[in-house]
């Protein structure tokens, strides 16, 4: 069962531009996480935002959470070619926090 859905499915931008990816989810959550996956590699954790937080920053990353709309966004500022990757949001599945449910991801391409 898919809890989070990322939008857009694919995004292509030029180096230096900002990239925004969105995630919508269906049920109430305690936390939402964002991960990055470089081609052929495992996932790497970026940020965890709790349901009582509205915004969180980490370097060039900014994550917002709107629990009333059941949505989150990931903003990457001043993008670099090295940011080229797939980005996934993940939330706790229904029935307990031991099951993390991932969306299908946004494939970001940053052109030099």
Partner 1 sequence: NAGVTQTPKFQVLKTGQSMTLQCAQDMNHEYMSWYRQDPGMGLRLIHYSVGAGITDQGEVPNGYNVSRSTTEDFPLRLLSAAPSQTSVYFCASSYSSVGASEQYFGPGTRLTVT
Is there binding between residue 72 and partner 1 (CB under 8 A)?
Answer: no
**Residue whose CB is less far from partner 1, 95 or 112:** 95
**Residue whose CB is less far from partner 1, 2 or 12:** 2
Nearest distance in Å: CB 41, partner 1:
6
Is there binding between residue 41 and partner 1 (CB under 8 A)?
Answer: yes
HEC profile of the chain = CCCEEEECCEEEEECCCCEEEEEEECCCCCEEEEEEECCCCCEEEEEEEECCCCEEEECCEEEEEECCCCEEEEEECCCCHHHCEEEEEEEECCCCCCCEEECCCEEEEEEC
Stretch that binds partner 1, among 18-26, 57-65, 75-83, 88-96 (CB under 8 A): 88-96
């Amino acid at each position: 069962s898919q809890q989070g859905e990322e939008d857009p499915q694919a995004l292509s931008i030029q180096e230096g531009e900002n990239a925004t990816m969105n995630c919508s989810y269906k049920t109430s959550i305690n936390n939402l996480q964002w991960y990055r996956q470089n081609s052929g590699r495992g996932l790497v954790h970026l940020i965890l935002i709790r349901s009582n937080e509205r915004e969180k920053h980490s370097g060039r990353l900014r994550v917002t959470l709107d629990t009333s709309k059941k949505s989150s966004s990931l903003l990457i500022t001043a993008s670099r070619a090295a940011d080229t990757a797939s980005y996934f949001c993940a939330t706790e599945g229904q029935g307990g926090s031991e099951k993390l449910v991932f969306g299908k991801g946004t494939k970001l391409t940053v052109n030099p």
